[in-house]
Amino acid sequence: MADIHDRDLEQLSAYVDGLLDEGERERFAARLQREPALQAEYEALRRTLGVLQALAAPAPEAGFEERARKRLRRRQDRERRARRVRSTVAWESTLMVLLLLLGLAVVAYLALPIMLETEDVPDPPLPPPPHEEPVPEEPRDDEGAWGPRDGGRADNPWVGSTTSTLPVLAMRRVGWRYEVRTELAHQDLGALLHARFGARRVHDEGDHWRVDVPADQLAEALARVSELGAWSRAMQEEGEGGGLAFRSLVLYPRTP
Amino acid sequence: MAADAENNWEELVLRLRAGEEDAFTELVRSFQGRVYGLCYRMLNHPAEAEDVAQEVFVAIFRYIDHFRGEGNFSTWVLRIAANRCRNHIKYLKRRRHDAKDTWEEITEHRLDDDHVQRVPRPDQVSEGLELERLVREGLQTLDEDHREILILRDMEHLSYQEIAEVLSLAEGTVKSRLSRARFALRTFLSQRYALVGGGDG
C-alpha cells in the first residue's frame, strides 16, 4: 500500500461507486491497468463491499412494533403524570407562598408595636405624687404679701434637710413652694402658726394653711408643726380635740 | 423502508402531527428495518439496538413538529437515529460497557429466530456466521465517524448527498471519510478473511 495515497483511495472509492465523470473514470481505469498495487486494492475493495452487501440486514425481534407502542404509551402516561404533578406542585407552591406571606404579615403585625417600643422606649411615667395639690393661686391683695415666689428655686436648701427628722406624713416640692402634709387638729393652731410663722389660712382651700417661712427657719417651723401635731393628737385622745383640723401645711420659702 | 411510506411521508407526517397512534405504528413498521439496522450495526448489541431504535421512534413521534419538511423525511429519521446512536455510545463508554461480551449471545440468538432474514444453506451457515462476526468485529475497530458513514453507504445504501444530510457534513468530507473507512475495514478483513485478500492482506 506504500504506493497508494489518500487521494488514490478517494478516487478508488468514488470509482467503485460510479461517481467519477466519464473522463475521470477512463483515466482511473487506465491507471488500474498500469498499476498492479492499485488494481489489487481495487479488487480487495470490491470483495469487501461484496461481503458487506451479502450480509443479512439485521431485523428486530418479532413484536418490535407492539413493544414500541407500549413504550410510547408509557412515555405519554409518564408525561401526563409529570404534567399533573407539575401542576399540583405549582398550585401547592403558590399556596405555600401565599400562606408564608400571610404568616409573615401576621407576625409583622404582631411584632411591629413591640419592635417600635423596643426601639424607642419612653421613660416610664413618674408615679403621681401621693398628694397632688393644685398650685396655690396668686395671693389676693387682701391677704397681704406672701414673699417672692422665685424663692422656690431648684437649689432651695429646704429639700432633704427636714424630712428625716420631722414627723411629717409627706413633703414635696410643688413648683416654687414646699408642701408638708401632716395631721393637725386644734382650734388655735391657726393662731399659733400665725403668731409664730405668720401663717395665713387660705379660705378657699379648706383646711390648708400657708406659712411663709424664712429659709433658715424651716427646720424650726417643721419641728413646731410636729409638736403641734403631737399635742393635737393628745388632746383628741383626751376628748378635748379642737374643731379645727389641718390636713396639710404649705410652707412657702421666703428669701431672707 | 416501505415504499408507500417513503413516497407518502407527507401524509404520514401530518398524521403524526395529529398524534394518531396508527401513524406511529406505520412509522415503526416503515422504518424499523433501517433504524434498527443502523442502531444494531453501530452498537453491536441487539438489546441496546432495540432500546435505542424504540427511543428513536418515540422521539420522532414527540418531536415531529421539528421536521420542517424541507428535506427528505427518511433522511431526517436516520439523522435522529445516528445522533441517538452516537449519544448512546458515549453513554455506554461512560459505563465502561464491553460490547464484545455479547458476541456469543448474538450468534446463538440469530440461529434461533428470524434475526437473520436471509439464511444461507446449511452448509453455508457456519461460514456466513463467521463472516458476519468478522464484519461486526471489523466495524467495531473503526471509530464512530467512520463506522456510521460506512454503514450508511455500504449497508443502508444512502447516497453521498443523503449521508451528508444525515451527518451534517460536506459531501467532500463524506467522500474522503468513506474512503478511509472502507480502506480500514478492508485491511481488517484482509488479515482475517482470505476471500477479501488485498495489497497487504
Residue that is written with C-alpha cell 422504518 in the block:
B31
Q: Alpha-carbon distance B26 to A68, whole Å?
A: 11
Contact B197, A44 (CB under 8 A): yes
Domain boundary among B117, B141, B167: B117
| Helix (H) or strand (E) run with residue B103 in it | helix B103-112
Answer yes or no: do B91 and B141 share one domain.
no
Residue A27 lies in a domain: yes
pLDDT of res. B120:
47
Residue B125 lies in a domain: no
User: Does the beta-carbon distance from A72 to B114 stay under 8 Å?
Assistant: no
User: Does the beta-carbon distance from B54 to A65 stay under 8 Å?
Assistant: no
Chain A residue nearest residue B23, CA to CA:
A69
Nearest Cα residue to A212 out of A197, A227, A190: A197
Chain B residue nearest residue A47, CA to CA:
B196
d(CA A20, nearest CA chain B) in Å: 12
User: Does the beta-carbon distance from B176 to A65 stay under 8 Å?
Assistant: no
Chain A residue nearest residue B117, CA to CA:
A56
Q: Give how many domains chain A has, as a whole number.
A: 2
Terminal Cα-to-Cα distance of chain B (whole angstroms): 36
Q: Alpha-carbon distance B41 to B159, whole Å?
A: 18
Print pLDDT tens along chain B (201 aa): 455 555 678 889 999 999 998 999 999 999 999 999 999 999 989 999 999 999 999 999 999 998 988 788 999 999 999 999 999 998 888 876 554 555 444 444 444 444 444 444 555 556 677 788 888 899 999 999 999 999 999 998 899 999 999 999 999 999 999 999 999 999 998 888 766 665 543
Answer yes or no: do B88 and B163 share one domain.
no
User: Does the beta-carbon distance from A69 to B46 stay under 8 Å?
Assistant: no
Residue that is written with C-alpha cell 454503514 in the block:
B151
d(CA A14, nearest CA chain B) in Å: 7
Give the domain extent around B158: 132-201
- Whether this model's ipTM surpasses 0.95 comes out as no
On whether any CB of chain B is under 8 Å from the CB of A115, the answer is: no
Nearest Cα residue to B151 out of A53, A209, A111: A53
pLDDT of res. B141:
92
Contact B168, A24 (CB under 8 A): no
pTM of the model: 0.57
Under DSSP, is residue B145 helix (H, G, I), strand (E, B) or coil? helix
Print pLDDT tens along chain A (256 aa): 446 788 889 999 999 999 999 999 999 999 999 999 999 999 999 989 988 888 888 889 999 999 999 999 998 898 889 988 888 888 888 999 999 999 999 998 888 877 776 555 555 555 554 554 544 544 433 333 233 333 333 333 333 333 323 334 445 555 555 565 555 444 455 566 666 666 666 555 555 666 666 667 767 776 766 666 666 566 556 655 443 445 566 666 665 4
Residue B122 lies in a domain: no
Residue B127 lies in a domain: no
Answer yes or no: do B109 and B136 share one domain.
no
Answer yes or no: do B94 and B140 share one domain.
no
Helix crossing, B73-94 with B160-167: angle to 10°?
Answer: 50
What CATH number is attached to the domain comprising B86? 1.10.1740.10
Q: Buried b / exposed e across A186-219, counting CB within 10 Å, b at 16+?
A: beebbebbeebbbbbbbeebebbbbbbbbeebbe
Give the domain extent around A21: 6-53
Q: Identify all chain B residues contacting A35, using CB atoms and an 8 Å cutoff.
A: none
pLDDT of res. B152:
93
Nearest Cα residue to B50 out of B39, B58, B63, B61: B39
Domain boundary among A33, A53, A73: A53
Contact A178, A171 (CB under 8 A): yes
DSSP assignment of B21-85 equals HHHHHHHHHHHHHHHHHHHHHHH--HHHHHHHHHHHHHHHHHTGGG--SSS-HHHHHHHHHHHHH
What are the φ/ψ torsions at residue A175 (nearest 5 degrees)? Answer: 65, -120
